[in-house]
Amino acid sequence: MIRLALAYLRDRPLMSALNILLLALAVATLVMLLSVSTQIGNRFERDARGIDLVVGAKGSPLQLILSSIYQMDIPTGNIPLESIALLRQDPSVRQVIPLTMGDNFRGFRIVGTEPAYLGLQNAKLAQGRMFAKAQEVVIGTRVADELGMTLGQRFVGSHGLTDDENAGHHEQSPFTTVGILAPTGSVMDRLIISNVESAWDIHGIDHDNLEDEVLHKGEHEHGQEDTDHSETVDHHDKDDASVSLTEREQMKPEITALLVSYKSAFGAVRIPSMINRQTNMQAAVPAVETARLLSLLGVGIDGARSFAWLLAATGGLSIFVALLAAASAREADLALLRVMGASRAQVFGTIIAEGLLISAIGAIAGLLLGHGALALAHANFEQLRDFGFDPFVMLPGEGGILLAVLGIGLLATLIPALRVFCVNLAESLARSS
Amino acid sequence: MISRATPVLAITGLKHGYGHKPILTGVEIELNEGAHHLLLGPSGSGKTTLIHAISGLLEPDDGSVVIDGEAMTGRSPAARDALRRSKIGLIFQSLRLVSALTVRENLHLAGRLSGHPTTDAAIDALLAQVGLGHRCSAKPRHLSQGEAQRAAISRALIGKPRLLIADEPTSALDDENADRVASLLIETADRNGSTLLVATHDQRLKKLIPRTVTLLSQSIAVP
């Protein structure tokens, strides 16, 4: 009966193709929406792991979160170095990780931080060692793959967060790659990570006197990982000629943001309001901002999803109309099948099989189309690549979509099939023969 | 004691009507193995109703139909389907082949449904016997009337039926094709050892199949 159903599909190629196309478009849209929304949600959740609060310059809290955690936007500005000590001394704070940003190498952001930052994503070194002094970097796996970088490779960073040929280069302070991270599936895969002093050095900011007393103050009380700067080279040999002594004296070491995790829930109650009310900085809660962003995205996604289900229902309706018309047009065929000895159930099954075949082919074609379109988007949109989006990842929800589309197909075939099942064969033969 | 072979078709006291209008009123027929008979009667005499009752497509109001020793009447619809599959081949005037399948695929399907699955080679040989060796891959809509009827005969015979019933097989054909199809029916039925019953009002067939059963309107059949 499956072969017969296939033969009927082949016998009406245009109608079959249109029905399949309708369902395929619906499934492709649903698969794309599911994949994008799920991967965005997962990625946001994964990248924000272990971060309860982000402290940065006043501005948009969402921008602060996007720039500091997801490396997707421009930072809101810089904050004083003393803010590190302020938070590290707080008894309800477990960990404070400083970030400096503002430079890139061929579009990959260079982030100044501490080794503890890598611990947020359980990043492990695949090759080499951790950075130990200024101008040493550990690079993410995508940076290494896309730029073909290897251990020991030296490179010069550029101003700004995106690749711009006109941007100034820090040729006086080249970086050296000392480690390559194993893949983490997180934002770290596309970062070049160094210590915070590197950022100050390449911008000619004097920090030697401040390091111990400000930068690392409070670390030992809270069991923070100690960063050994004993081997820090004297970067004053490489002063930026374009920066005058007066300017240098005016430029104080700053940081871009702080990633904070609490030791106790009390911190969540007290610290954000303390930062927002009593300092010139802002505190943003990743969970809140991410939820707000996903909610904003969700409106569009929900609208598109409703449209896709409408498309699927239209596909089902089209199958229903086609099979209802076919059941009438094929009355003679179906009567002949019964004459040849096919049971009612077999004839009923032929109609059901035809509807299910259209649905199954449409669903599988839609699945392939959806992932193909995602792959095309991935190849053409840098943002998706930066986001670590995988166009070929199969989600459990896709199985649900396939089953739902098969259900629509089954529902659409039931009435035509039941009409065939209930037909009076003798009367049908009288009309047909 | 003389033993008598079981008739391929035995009809006793068959009655059937639609509403208050009686169509068959006590039909009695017995056809033995290999016999050829014409079932004659004017339009409305109940030829088609009788064929439907013989082949289990309807359950008559009264009487019995026995096919090769097995009762067709008094069975469930599914059991009638099964008996029809295994014992009867049916040919109609215009209901010949499944439209979406090629001639060869039609024969394959008929073979599988009758429990006699067969090979491409055997089907092609059967089609060659009816002069359709070159039309195996054609869809029914591409066949002429005569070709389609010959293909339908092959389709009906693929399950090696004990009883081959043809309902008005030549009515739509010209003399040449009618002769050809009727000769083919007799020839293939003989080759297969099938008993042949041809319901028709086409008097042209009398010269080829002289033995007749006549249905008079609302009257008992007279062998």
**pLDDT at residue A125 above 90?**
yes
| Residue B4 within a domain | no
Residue of B82, B90, B139 lying closest to A339 (CB–CB): B90
3-state class of A110 per DSSP?
A: strand
Residue of A336, A341, A344 lying closest to B98 (CB–CB): A336
Closest Cα partner for B39 from B204, B217, B219, B215? B215
Closest Cα partner for B195 from B34, B85, B46? B34
Q: What is the pLDDT of residue A168?
A: 64
| Residue B3 within a domain | no
Rounded to a whole number of angstroms, the distance from the CA of B207 to the nearest CA of chain A is 25
Q: Taking a C-beta distance cutoff of 8 angstroms, is the pair A64, A76 a contact?
A: yes
Q: Closest chain B residue to A11 measured between Cα atoms?
A: B100
User: How many structural domains comprise chain B?
Assistant: 1
Q: Which residues of chain B have pLDDT under 50?
A: 1-3, 218-223
Note down the domain range covering B77. 9-221
Beta bridge partners of B196: B36, B164
The tens digit of pLDDT for each residue in A315-364 reads: 888 888 887 887 777 778 888 888 888 888 888 898 889 889 988 999 99
Name chain A contacts of B149, Cβ cutoff 8 Å: none
| Residue B189 within a domain | yes
CB contact under 8 A, A425 and B96: no
pTM of the model: 0.69
| Residue B121 within a domain | yes
Rounded to a whole number of angstroms, the distance from the CA of A317 to the nearest CA of chain B is 23
Q: Closest chain B residue to A12 measured between Cα atoms?
A: B100
Burial A110-138 (b: 16+ CB within 10 A, else e): bbbbbbbbbebbebeeeebeebbbbbbbb
How large is the ipTM?
Answer: 0.80
Name the token pair of A24: 């395929």
**pLDDT at residue A242 above 60?**
no
d(CA A270, CA A283): 11
Closest Cα partner for A152 from A185, A182, A180? A180
CB contact under 8 A, B90 and A338: no
Q: How distant is the alpha carbon of residue A215 from its chain centre?
A: 33
Q: What is the pLDDT of residue B1?
A: 42
- Taking the CA atoms of A110, A112, A113 and A114 in sequence, report the sign of the dihedral they define: positive
d(CA A193, CA A199): 11
| Residue B1 within a domain | no
Q: What is the pLDDT of residue A254?
A: 85
Q: What is the pLDDT of residue B3?
A: 44
For testing contact with chain B, the best of A15, A334, A340 (most B CBs within 10 A): A340
Q: Taking a C-beta distance cutoff of 8 angstroms, is the pair A55, A260 a contact?
A: yes
| Average confidence score pLDDT of chain A | 82
Q: Closest chain A residue to B158 measured between Cα atoms?
A: A340
Rounded to a whole number of angstroms, the distance from the CA of B100 to the nearest CA of chain A is 5
| Residue B51 within a domain | yes
3-state class of A95 per DSSP?
A: strand
CB contact under 8 A, A8 and B100: yes
Boundaries of every domain in chain A: 2-43+301-432, 53-284
Residue of B57, B85, B105 lying closest to A425 (CB–CB): B57
d(CA A409, CA A36): 26
B50: CB partners within 8 A, 6+ apart? B14, B24, B27, B39, B199, B215, B221
More confident residue, A167 or A25: A25
pLDDT band at A140 (very low <50, low <70, confident <90, very high): very high
For testing contact with chain B, the best of A11, A330, A336 (most B CBs within 10 A): A336
d(CA A104, CA A199): 11
Residue of B81, B96, B109 lying closest to A343 (CB–CB): B81
- SS3 letters across A204-247: CCCCCCCHHHHHCCCCHHHCCCCCCCCCCCCHHHHCCCCCCHHH
Residue of B58, B82, B110 lying closest to A426 (CB–CB): B58
Name the token pair of A322: 């086609």
Report the range of poorest mean pLDDT among A187-191, A220-224, A301-305, B41-45: A220-224
The tens digit of pLDDT for each residue in A31-70 reads: 998 898 888 888 888 888 889 999 999 999 999 999 999 8
Burial of A244 (0-12, 13-18, 19+ CB in 10 A): exposed
Rounded to a whole number of angstroms, the distance from the CA of A300 to the nearest CA of chain B is 45
Q: Closest chain B residue to A429 measured between Cα atoms?
A: B95
Q: What is the pLDDT of residue A206?
A: 63
Which CATH number fits the domain that encloses residue B193?
A: 3.40.50.300
d(CA A411, CA B149): 38
Which residue matches tokens 């055997």? B122
Q: What is the pLDDT of residue A161?
A: 67
Name the token pair of A321: 């109309």
Q: What is the pLDDT of residue B218?
A: 47
Angle in degrees, CA A348, A353, A354, rounded to 5: 105
| Residue B2 within a domain | no
Rounded to a whole number of angstroms, the distance from the CA of B3 to the nearest CA of chain A is 33
- Average pLDDT of A392-399? 91
pLDDT band at A301 (very low <50, low <70, confident <90, very high): confident
Q: Closest chain A residue to B80 measured between Cα atoms?
A: A341
Name chain B contacts of A333, Cβ cutoff 8 Å: 98-100
